[in-house]
Amino acid sequence: MIQRRWFLGAVFSLVAVSFVSAEEKPFHIQAHRGAGIAKPENTLEAFEYTWSIGVTPEADLRTTSDGEIVCFHDANLARVVSNVSDAEKKASVEKLPAEDVLQLEVGSFRGKEFAGQKVPTLESIFAAMKGRPERLLYLDIKTADQDQLVQLIDKYGVTSQVIYTTTHPELIREWKKRVPGSLTLLWNGGSEESLTKKLADVRAADFEGITHLQIHVRVGDLNSEDPFTPSTKFLKQVGQELKEKGIVFQVLPWECQDQAAYGRLLELGVESFATDYPEVTVAAVKEFRGKQ
């Protein structure tokens, strides 16, 4: 249980999260793509916002043509970039030098109030985390050299603040050998049948290197006998097993902004959320804890 207690103890700043009292364990919430869907993705401003409400942002990492690791999700510029031509929208971060990528405007697609936000370097994000142990960051690697990534982590002293994120358990095992002091997340989507098979493989390796594990959940009619896919029974079983292993059980209620759904999942023993709606999730956790 040492691993789990250390993780939960490091996750939230009690000052930043008003609904966590001195007597409560902090509750970890991940903001998908940095700030969910209400604000721009993968910008420093978005990360600052999520940190301010006690939520941990996810950073999607890509590398420019001249070797700068930046925060950007998509394989091309079409969806979120406003200040390029239609022809240029077909380009990828990997084909452009950092000088050009850092000038891409990626805020206004979420609203004119966010106009002017730019693609940040990972180094600038680590600089904002340095000396702020309450600021954690998920690392979702799209295209980034791991040697370079490890060097940046060491340079800014943020080993215990990064959460290496992947769907491949073998990569987690390799990562933990290189950066043993970091956290890790194994995320998992798919049918209950495919999840059962994958968990069997992970179990055979005794969950090596995994500090928390995420399952994607689809939420149906909350008035039905079982509104969740995978099923309530499956989620309970996984949660209990992970608790016994000292691994934090996280779920991503896919595209769900119903606060009641988060409450139901908390009742099943879920210990952490990833979400596109961090404010809704914070409110759900606060309400759930108020009833305890």
* Residue 36 token pair: 């969910």
pLDDT class of 1 with cuts at 50, 70, 90: very low
178 pLDDT above the threshold of 70:
yes
Residue 4: its pLDDT value, please?
Answer: 40
Let me know: does 45 contact 284? Beta carbons within 8 Å: no
Residue 99: its pLDDT value, please?
Answer: 98
Q: CATH code at 213?
A: 3.20.20.190
* Residue 204 token pair: 């055979």
Residue 2: its pLDDT value, please?
Answer: 36
What percentage of the chain has pLDDT greater than the value 90? 89
88 pLDDT above the threshold of 90:
yes
Residue 290: its pLDDT value, please?
Answer: 86
Residue 168: its pLDDT value, please?
Answer: 97
* Per-residue pLDDT reduced to its tens digit, 132-145: 999 999 999 999 99
Q: 3-state DSSP call for residue 75?
A: coil
Q: Mean pLDDT for the chain? A: 91
The pTM of the full predicted model, rounded to 2 decimals, is 0.89
* Per-residue pLDDT reduced to its tens digit, 15-26: 333 344 434 556
| Structural domains of the chain, count | 1
Let me know: does 56 contact 30? Beta carbons within 8 Å: yes
Q: Kindly give the interhelix angle for 278-291 and 259-267, rounded to the nearest 10 degrees.
A: 50
- What are all long-range contacts of 98-104, with beta carbons under 8 Å and residues at least 24 apart? 98/64, 98/66, 98/67, 98/68, 98/70, 101/64, 101/68, 101/70, 101/72, 102/70, 104/77
**What range defines the domain where residue 246 resides?**
2-291
